Amino acid sequence: MAVGQTSFPEMTTVAGISLGTTNAGIKQTERDDILILEMAAGGTAAAVFTQNAFCAAPVHVAKAHLIQNPRWLLINSGNANAGTGQQGMDDALASCSDVAQLVKGEPTQVLPFSTGVIGEHLPMEKMTSAFPAALANLKESNWKQAAQAIMTTDTFPKGASKMIELDGEKITITGISKGAGMIQPNMATMLCFMATDAKISQDLLQQCLSQAAELSFNRITVDGDTSTNDACVLMASACSKAAEITADSENYAIFSAAITEVCKQLAEAIVRDGEGATKLIRIHVEQALSDAEAVMVGKTIAHSPLVKTAFFASDPNWGRILAAVGRAGVENMDLNKVELYLGDVCIVEKGGRAASYTEEAGQAVMDKNEIMVTVKLGRGEKAQEILTCDFSYDYVKINAEYRT
């Protein structure tokens, strides 16, 4: 089940970036579950990772290898290789060595990523046997195949692509993401792999990705759970004819905005595909003292099971939203200044139910499958938006049966 437009978009290939997929039979044999991404020599890479203390073995290895000018990404679905102790670390390192041997590179040039069930060891023999087939399948056009190979409980592959011009030369940005459950960003929250043909230093690319992730993946939540395996990678092949992007330039501002836009599209696709989701909810918090305060209020609403189940039932139970705002931790909040809206319908003002509000008006908004909730705190000028979805019967069913 997914909300709204879920068709895979037209993807522009990125010069210097090739992707190959195959099926290793890790958990299923119906679709590919191994992805190898290869970048031409001379590029740079940046990444952000989960802050879960129990982060998976591949996260530890990818962090260590990131500073070694990586050229290959190795991703498997069906098994998270998390909570697997020293053997998990050994397996992650061995998989990098196996790929490196096949491509005649260094193990430290390979970043490993895994997604799936926690607490089970990787089927190394199956995976190693599949690597040659994935490498033989390397193509610049394999973005959809790659998006499908990294899926777990996702119901559709997720992608986004954008082209910009810098000083008359074109630059491409293309990316894929996966995620439907265990989604609460603490950068990041899911897997995302992006590529561009821009020429840019590793430090500046890292700055760009970190900013983009904060404004996109760190603004979504499905269920409030931060995964052990979350990661977002941005690779820049330097194959565009455009001049190198430098800090504090207009070109960097344009490039950074485009990266953020692609990240936001990929992040929204994850929420639309939230496990069991029937509705997409945009929570816009305005008039906050700070961005952090606006995010805090938005996430408190988004994480509330009572709010999320009310949305699933199309029940305009605005008291649940009001209660969430009240417990968000805003200091010295003036209740008489707070206003709440469902769509353009004011439901709360001056400390209580709006005089103009009717149940019929609230119901008309709740019956939609995409809903805007607006909170005006009356405290300042900062605003932030959080994306979330409802909680349905299917969310419980999907996660109750996840390992079966």
Report d(CA 260, CA 271) in Å as an integer. Answer: 17
Could you tell me which residues are beta bridge partners of residue 19? 37, 139
**Sign of torsion, CA 83 85 91 96?**
positive
Per DSSP, which regions of 189-277 are E strands? 191-196, 231-236
CA distances from 208 to 13, 63, 167, 215, 365 (A): 21, 17, 20, 11, 37
Name the catalytic one among 44, 115, 152, 189.
189
Q: Are strands 280-288 and 382-389 parallel, antiparallel or unpaired?
A: antiparallel
Could you tell me which residues are beta bridge partners of residue 245? 200
Q: Would you call the peptide bond into 212 cis, given omega within 30 degrees of 0 as the criterion?
A: no
Q: Could you confirm whether 128 is annotated as catalytic?
A: no
Nearest to 177 by CA among 189, 162, 163: 189
Which helix (DSSP H) or strand (DSSP E) does residue 347 occupy?
strand 345-349
Report d(CA 322, CA 347) in Å as an integer. Answer: 10
Q: How far apart are the first and last CA of the chain?
A: 19
Catalytic annotation, residues: 189
